């Protein structure tokens, strides 16, 4: 109707798009205004009454028409009766050739033009009536359309259509008309309607007003009695509508639904009034708390049914940074206080095993004795008990020789798990059997079992197991015991804190008994709990590196009581019974139970009663709530004072019970005996409410003897914090979680600085933060359905919120914060429609997943050993032990974050056009599918039939096992990692599958034969019969071993060190020679580091020196073990090599060559610096016996002794960035395209086994100024170093065909990322393999990378400049060598350096030996003859100049050129 003020389209005609750019459709029913049939068929020449139409109850409109003869003027007269003097005709004319209103040139006086769309003509007042005459002189006009507007009342009539042609006198009929109008008009109309409703207009009146239909009214016919109905005040309707909306979870209502809600609220209240409730009673019932304030705020802001949002403060994310890394420390244990007769044995045992005996127990065993001795070392303890289940170890001692002894471990339930059995144990039926090993100590003959419990605070766990029986008496006993153990746990360091957590967690999940019918007063439980949590609070202040684990313990324990709150629990239940007349029955039984012993079950019982009452006394709801938290009828009956009855309340008790039990719930929370379960947060925010009340202050509302408990607010809280917490409580059950999540995060961010300090009542603030965190996770999980059909920006925003919440709960959160910054930047890019936003977000998705995986691995390595060992001691169900760490992870923010990442991953891959596969080595293969956990675990295995491995984990440094033709993995090793290059060299299919469903499908086909056909971006696969595999039609190339190779043993040629000018094939490997060749030949803007070398044979010369005679003998002995396939000898040889002493001549010559080449001499900085350099040299030599290198030589049947190791010595380029270039794209084989990867810092993170992906790009060789980014970096770690020297391995294996490009010794290997990186991440221990392939003299600094401030990512101009320069350098080096090259280099302050190059191998480089039909041992003459023979054979075809033959000619030339140069 608002739209009619401007223009109304007639009939079914469409509006003009240029006039109405934004359309919203609305269907409106109009009146049938058909005129009297006699008039419609009357004379065309006389004056005709077209019709009478009702405008309102007292007014009507008369319309008459004087039809115009040909060429005359048509006259239309309108008369409105009983009207005001402010009527206006809003009108226009219709022509058959126009879709819009025509504005006639002949207009009545006073007519104005409205927005060039309609005419507005005022009626002339005449007495009580208003009249208007319109004349139409345009013969093309067929009709007019008009509306009547009463300005005084702001009232519009319906639309009229009046034909004016002589032969068709009838009013148009408008039954259903579709209106099109702008969104702005639509919103304005909605606002007007809602304002009318707010003024008290009923929906019926509003409808009647708009449609001009009479309202339904009570009958006033004669003889009937008039009834007076009390109307609901409009302010109460507004409140009731708000209450309905709040109960529904504050959803986002559509405008139509909002109108319906107002009307439903009115009906509900009217129904109450009709039942006899007075308006005042109604008002008192619904106007509670601050409900009026909330409603009035919405009315004031004109935001109806909308959730308010808090304004988050702008903070630098780095303010949330915490770098507290937990470390393992050696425990301090008291020595035995009471010596026994076995002092001699004890002392000898301590001296031999470097341990301390904590306690001893003697048991008679025939004429012998069994001595139980718990002892402590850094990694292990020994513990036993005769009646335990066999998860124990015993020492048997006597003064004479013992015969063979077996320890039989008899279990009434089941045998212990094999994972914790001592070595040599045998599992029996419900038992195990372990043999004692025999040995002699200081004349005493003894037998000893193995040990268990490695990686735990074993002595502490055994102490806990000793005390568990006492702890089961009641929660008071348990908490007091826990408090007594805090000091011992602290002295055991991180593993001690973990031990306490595991124990408390077992209790919280009901794996341990809470109470053995022991009567204890609630205040005593509360006092014990307070004591324990006070100790935890003190440790939280003093040891920030343990805060994350301490939070976990506190969340499982609860806060503890306040003064007399414990006694209040027993007393207040009496008040509830008295006030609500509910004595006897279930309530009395519960009171007796509470009087005897308050337990965590009471919180659940109270919540069940509240849910039962809210459901209008549905007893099924009562039992459902109990069962959700593990309370059954049997459990209720098992109490010392059992609960037999079900609740049975009356309807009139409802309000009072809800009020009083709600207050009682708060008291139970304050009493603190709740062991919080993962479900507790869903109970209407009860835990959160209790935590907030404790911090903000609380005063009870007791009666009679209940004087109430008062808790003062915590001092020093931020300004505005109470309002923020009030906002959180108001929205804790909203369906739309986003405003609540923002409020929760803002509250946690405000608390963060306080928790880093040492405020008063730290414990209360910690529990508040825990409650906010728990509520946040619950809200996110509740919002999953809301996120089903939203834009990706919404999911990205939720991811950023969850990351921030995770960062606030994590001790070492730097990587998480940089992930958060990345997601925020990606979100801004998406909003700005940046075409790379999805690719950028995908990189941070990958990095976030790496962070979560690292966190999960950290938890598992920290907690699972303690869970398994303590679980074995306490006889915990094995399933509960197995999933212990998994459940911890699932209960945290990491699990919710992972779920969100899984939602957006396919979206990002689709937008960025990444597909579900990344094909690293595209080879068509077929074979038997074999599913393995780790490629590392099977790298040395040989498969006797074509095998396609589906490996859950691939790190990047593994070998491809013999017989493997394909590797499929969800991991993302770099395209240029060792395993990637090796796969391409050996023509093995290697691909990453990002689709978990596809991966799961393949894993389900374990053992079946499949064929895989890859492209550069996708893979198709199908199951095939074995006969097709055996036919040999497939795998023609796949899995082929590299050509057979042989090595010539190198000799020492009399020089310990040589300069770059002396590099030759007899002295050094290809790596060193290539670096020397580059010097002076690359463009001037490309630098090459200065180099010297320790040549072939030097290691053997040093080893044969008299000063290293013992080392040589040891190595020879270990080689013998290795020859017998004792591969443990490899590690022993590496360690032995490190004992070599440097001959004086070596030191002298190396110093001369380094100084002569302009390199610094380490010894000038002191003897210690030279020792560092010498150790690095020895580590390079020792790498000859690295597992990967050793098994590589075995695989190709090389004599490992013939491998000779030179050492390339270079100055380290302290790189801003490092890169690797393949001058032919290795994935597609496109020789016109350069592929490169770039990392921040040193290149070891790129070529080594560091997690994450490098930045990757391609560049066409004919357009080197236009690099195209394929992927942004996700590597979290960058390596940086001061000016130093690096020592690189350079063996004669560098020249082997099939090894160039990956090399036997061409990678720096950091800590094994399955174990050593875990040590570093978890405990701060930095460990390197004793055999590294490239060893810097100084330790690199590991830096967590922030890509949001990296100009290579954020500055498009800088990015283009650097990437183009890298591509140009690669192209120049390829031109220099005349063949595809694998180039490594660095960028420092914008200048490029190339540190090495070698021929590129793999899919992109043809096997040149096969092209020419020669072997790797062919002489230059043989190669030349083969080349000429092929040229002659195909001479005729070449002359035809076909495209295929042209390419073949180029290939022959390239093969000949490369092989002749080599």
Which residues does the annotation mark as catalytic?
978
Of 713, 461, 678, nearest in space to 555 by CA: 678
* Cβ neighbours, 10 Å, residue 1098: 28
- In contact, 1399 and 1458? CB cutoff 8 Å: yes
- In contact, 294 and 242? CB cutoff 8 Å: yes
Of 1091, 1069, 1095, nearest in space to 1079 by CA: 1091
DSSP state of 420: G
- In contact, 323 and 545? CB cutoff 8 Å: no
Burial class (CB in 10 A: 0-12, 13-18, 19+), 652: exposed
What is the rounded distance in angstroms from the CA atom of residue 52 to the CA atom of residue 688? 68
What is the rounded distance in angstroms from the CA atom of residue 1282 to the CA atom of residue 874? 53
SS3 1285: strand
SS3 858: helix
What is the rounded distance in angstroms from the CA atom of residue 563 to the CA atom of residue 694? 13
Q: Dihedral (C-alpha) 654, 656, 659, 662: value to the nearest 10 degrees? A: -70
β-pair type (1285-1291, 1391-1399): unpaired
CA angle 622, 623, 627 (to 5 degrees): 125
What is the rounded distance in angstroms from the CA atom of residue 123 to the CA atom of residue 839? 66
| Secondary structure (H, E, C), 835-853 | CCHHHHHHHHHHHHHHHHH
Q: Which residue has the tokens 């009232």?
A: 155
- In contact, 1347 and 822? CB cutoff 8 Å: yes
Of 557, 542, 563, nearest in space to 506 by CA: 557
| Secondary structure (H, E, C), 334-393 | CCCCCCCCCHHHHHHHHHHHCCEECCCEEEEECCEEEEECCEECCCCEECCCCCCCCCCC
CA angle 1181, 1183, 1184 (to 5 degrees): 80
- In contact, 1238 and 1218? CB cutoff 8 Å: yes
List, in order, residues 6 or more apart from 1060 with CB less than 8 Å away.
1072, 1075, 1076, 1079, 1090, 1091, 1092, 1093, 1157
What is the rounded distance in angstroms from the CA atom of residue 886 to the CA atom of residue 898? 14
Tell how far CA 1167 is from the center of its chain. Answer: 49
Any alpha helices (H) in 492-631, and if so which ranges?
Answer: 494-508, 522-542, 547-557, 565-579, 585-596, 601-614, 619-628
What is the rounded distance in angstroms from the CA atom of residue 647 to the CA atom of residue 653? 12
List, in order, residues 6 or more apart from 119 with CB less than 8 Å away.
89, 90, 91, 92, 103, 104, 107, 111, 112, 113
What is the rounded distance in angstroms from the CA atom of residue 41 to the CA atom of residue 34? 13
Strand partners, 1290: 1206
DSSP H or E run through 408: strand 406-410
* Cα first-last separation, the chain: 88
Q: Which residue has the tokens 């100049």?
A: 1441
What is the rounded distance in angstroms from the CA atom of residue 268 to the CA atom of residue 1307? 77
What is the rounded distance in angstroms from the CA atom of residue 1158 to the CA atom of residue 580? 95
């Amino acid at each position: 109707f608002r739209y009619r003020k401007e223009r109304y389209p007639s009939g079914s005609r469409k509006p003009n798009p240029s006039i109405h750019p934004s359309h919203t459709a609305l269907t409106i029913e109009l009146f049938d205004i058909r005129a009297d049939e006699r008039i419609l068929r009357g004379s065309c020449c006389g004056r005709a009454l077209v019709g009478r139409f009702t405008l309102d109850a007292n007014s009507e409109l008369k319309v008459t028409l004087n039809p115009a003869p040909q060429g005359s003027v048509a006259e239309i007269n309108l008369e409105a009766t009983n009207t005001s003097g402010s009527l206006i005709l809003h009108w226009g004319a219709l022509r058959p050739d126009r879709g819009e209103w025509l504005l006639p040139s002949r207009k009545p006086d006073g007519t104005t033009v409205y927005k060039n769309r309609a005419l507005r003509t005022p009626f002339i007042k005449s007495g009580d009536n208003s009249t208007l005459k319109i004349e139409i002189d345009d013969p093309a006009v067929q009709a007019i359309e008009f509306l009547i507007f009463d300005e005084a009342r702001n009232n519009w009539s319906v639309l009229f259509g009046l034909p004016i042609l002589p032969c068709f006198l009838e009013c148009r009929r408008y039954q259903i008309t579709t209106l099109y109008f702008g969104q702005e008009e639509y919103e304005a109309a909605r606002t007007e309607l809602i304002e009318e409703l707010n003024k008290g207009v009923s929906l019926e009146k509003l409808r009647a007003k708009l449609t001009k239909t009479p309202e339904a009214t009570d009958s006033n016919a004669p003889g009937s009695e008039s009834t007076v109905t009390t109307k609901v005040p409009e302010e109460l309707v507004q409140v009731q509508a708000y209450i309905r909306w709040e109960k529904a979870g504050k959803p986002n209502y559509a405008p139509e639904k909002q109108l319906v809600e107002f009307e439903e609220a009115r009906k509900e209240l009217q129904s109450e009034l009709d039942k006899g409730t007075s308006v005042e009673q109604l008002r008192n019932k619904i106007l509670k708390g601050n409900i009026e304030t909330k409603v009035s705020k919405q009315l004031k802001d004109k935001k109806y049914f909308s959730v308010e949002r808090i304004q988050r403060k702008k903070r630098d994310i780095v303010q949330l940074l915490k770098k507290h890394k937990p470390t393992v420390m050696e425990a301090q244990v008291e020595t035995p206080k009471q010596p026994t007769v076995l002092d001699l044995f004890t002392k000898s045992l301590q001296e031999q095993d470097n341990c301390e005996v904590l306690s001893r127990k003697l048991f008679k065993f025939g004429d012998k004795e069994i001595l139980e001795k718990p002892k402590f070392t850094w990694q292990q303890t020994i513990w036993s008990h005769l009646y335990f289940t066999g998860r124990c170890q015993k020492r048997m001692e006597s003064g004479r020789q013992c015969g063979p002894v077996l320890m039989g471990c008899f279990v009434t339930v089941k045998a212990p798990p094999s994972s914790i059995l001592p070595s040599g144990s045998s599992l029996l039926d419900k038992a195990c059997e372990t043999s004692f090993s025999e040995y002699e100590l200081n004349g005493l003959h003894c037998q000893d079992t193995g040990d268990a419990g490695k990686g735990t605070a074993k002595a502490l766990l055994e102490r806990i197991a000793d005390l568990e029986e006492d702890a089961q008496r009641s929660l008071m006993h348990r908490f007091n015991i826990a408090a007594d153990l805090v000091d011992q746990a602290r002295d055991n360091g991180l593993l001690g804190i973990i031990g306490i957590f595991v124990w408390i967690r077992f209790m919280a999940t009901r794996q341990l008994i809470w109470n053995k019918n022991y009567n204890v007063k609630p205040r005593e439980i509360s006092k014990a709990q307070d004591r324990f949590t006070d100790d935890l609070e003190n440790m939280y202040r003093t040891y920030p590196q343990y805060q994350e684990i301490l939070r976990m313990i506190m969340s499982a324990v609860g806060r503890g009581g306040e003064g007399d709150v414990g006694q209040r629990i027993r007393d207040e239940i009496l008040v509830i019974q008295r006030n609500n007349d509910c004595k006897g029955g279930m309530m009395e039984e519960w009171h007796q139970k509470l009087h005897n012993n308050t337990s965590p079950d009471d919180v659940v019982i109270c919540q069940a009663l509240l849910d039962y009452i809210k459901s209008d006394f549905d007893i099924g709801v009562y039992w459902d709530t109990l069962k959700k938290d593990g309370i059954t009828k049997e459990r209720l009956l098992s109490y010392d004072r059992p609960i037999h009855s079900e609740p049975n309340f009356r309807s009139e008790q409802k309000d009072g019970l809800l009020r009083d039990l709600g207050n009682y719930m708060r008291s139970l929370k304050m009493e603190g005996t709740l062991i919080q379960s993962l479900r507790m947060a869903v109970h209407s925010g009860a835990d959160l409410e209790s935590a907030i009340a404790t911090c903000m202050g609380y005063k009870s509302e007791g009666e009679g003897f209940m004087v109430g408990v008062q808790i003062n607010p915590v001092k020093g809280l931020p300004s505005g914090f109470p309002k923020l917490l009030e906002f959180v409580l108001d929205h804790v059950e909203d369906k739309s979680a986003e405003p609540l999540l923002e409020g929760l995060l803002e509250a946690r961010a405000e608390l963060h600085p306080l928790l880093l300090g040492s405020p008063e009542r730290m414990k209360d603030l910690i529990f508040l933060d825990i409650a906010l965190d728990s509520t946040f996770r619950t809200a996110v999980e509740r919002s999953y359905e809301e996120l089903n059909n939203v834009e990706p920006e919404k999911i990205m925003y939720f991811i950023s919120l969850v990351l921030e919440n995770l960062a606030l709960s994590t001790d070492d959160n730097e990587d998480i914060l940089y992930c958060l910054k990345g997601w925020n930047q990606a979100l801004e890019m998406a909003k700005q429609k940046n075409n790379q936003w999805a690719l950028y977000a995908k990189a941070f998705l990958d990095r976030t997943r790496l962070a979560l995986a690292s966190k999960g691995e950290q938890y598992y390595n920290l907690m699972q050993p303690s869970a398994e060992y303590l679980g074995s001691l306490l006889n915990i169900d094995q399933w509960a032990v197995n999933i212990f760490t998994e459940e911890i992870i699932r209960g945290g923010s990491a699990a919710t974050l992972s779920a969100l990442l899984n939602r957006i991953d396919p979206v990002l891959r689709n937008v960025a056009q990444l597909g579900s596969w990344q094909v690293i080595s595209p080879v068509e293969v077929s074979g038997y599918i074999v599913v393995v956990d780790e490629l590392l675990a099977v790298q040395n295995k040989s498969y006797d039939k074509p095998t396609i491995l589906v490996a859950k984990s691939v790190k990047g440094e593994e070998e491809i096992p013999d017989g493997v033709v394909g590797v499929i993995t969800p991991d993302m090793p770099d395209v240029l990692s060792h395993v990637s290059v090796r796969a391409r060299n050996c023509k093995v299919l290697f691909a990453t599958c990002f689709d978990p469903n596809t991966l799961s499908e393949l894993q389900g086909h374990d053992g079946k034969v499949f064929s895989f056909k890859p492209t550069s971006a996708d893979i198709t696969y199908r199951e095939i019969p074995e006969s097709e595999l055996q036919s040999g039609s497939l795998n023609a190339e796949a899995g082929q071993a590299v050509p057979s190779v042989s090595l010539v043993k190198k000799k020492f040629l009399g020089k310990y060190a040589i300069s770059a000018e002396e590099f030759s094939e007899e002295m050094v490997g290809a790596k060193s020679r290539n670096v020397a060749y580059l010097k002076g030949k690359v463009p001037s803007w490309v630098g090459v580091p200065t180099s010297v070398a320790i040549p072939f044979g030097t290691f053997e010369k040093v080893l044969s020196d008299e000063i290293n005679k013992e080392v040589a003998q040891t190595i020879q002995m270990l080689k013998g073990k290795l020859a017998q396939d004792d591969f443990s000898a490899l590690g022993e040889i590496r360690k032995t090599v490190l004992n070599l002493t440097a001959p004086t001549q070596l030191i002298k010559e190396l110093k001369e060559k380094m100084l002569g080449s302009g390199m610094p001499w380490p010894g000038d900085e002191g003897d210690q610096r030279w020792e560092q350099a010498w150790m690095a040299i020895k580590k390079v030599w020792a790498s000859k016996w690295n597992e990967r290198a050793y098994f590589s030589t075995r695989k190709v049947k090389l004599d490992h002794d013939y491998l000779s190791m030179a050492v390339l010595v270079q100055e380290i380029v302290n790189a801003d960035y490092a890169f690797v270039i393949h001058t032919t794209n290795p994935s597609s084989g496109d020789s016109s395209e350069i592929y490169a990867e770039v990392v921040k810092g040193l290149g070891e993170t790129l070529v080594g086994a560091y997690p994450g992906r490098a930045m990757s790009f391609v560049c066409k060789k004919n357009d080197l100024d236009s690099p195209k980014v394929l992927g942004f970096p996700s590597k979290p770690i960058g390596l940086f170093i001061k000016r130093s020297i690096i020592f690189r391995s350079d063996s004669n294996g560098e020249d082997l065909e099939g090894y160039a490009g990956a090399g036997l010794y061409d990678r720096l290997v950091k800590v094994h990322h399955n174990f050593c990186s875990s040590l570093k991440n978890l405990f701060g221990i930095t460990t390197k393999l004793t055999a590294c392939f490239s060893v810097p003299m100084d330790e690199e600094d590991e830096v967590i990378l922030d890509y949001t401030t990296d100009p290579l990512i954020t500055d498009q101009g800088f990015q283009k400049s650097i990437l183009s320069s890298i591509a140009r350098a690669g192209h120049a080096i390829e031109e220099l060598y005349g063949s595809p090259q694998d180039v490594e280099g660095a960028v420092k302050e914008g200048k490029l350096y190339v540190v090495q190059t070698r021929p590129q191998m793999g899919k992109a480089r043809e096997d040149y030996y096969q092209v020419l039909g020669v072997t790797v041992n062919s002489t230059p003459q043989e190669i030349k003859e083969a080349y000429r023979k092929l040229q002659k054979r195909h001479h005729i075809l070449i002359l035809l100049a076909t495209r295929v033959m042209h390419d073949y000619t180029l290939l022959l030339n390239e093969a000949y050129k490369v092989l002749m140069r080599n």
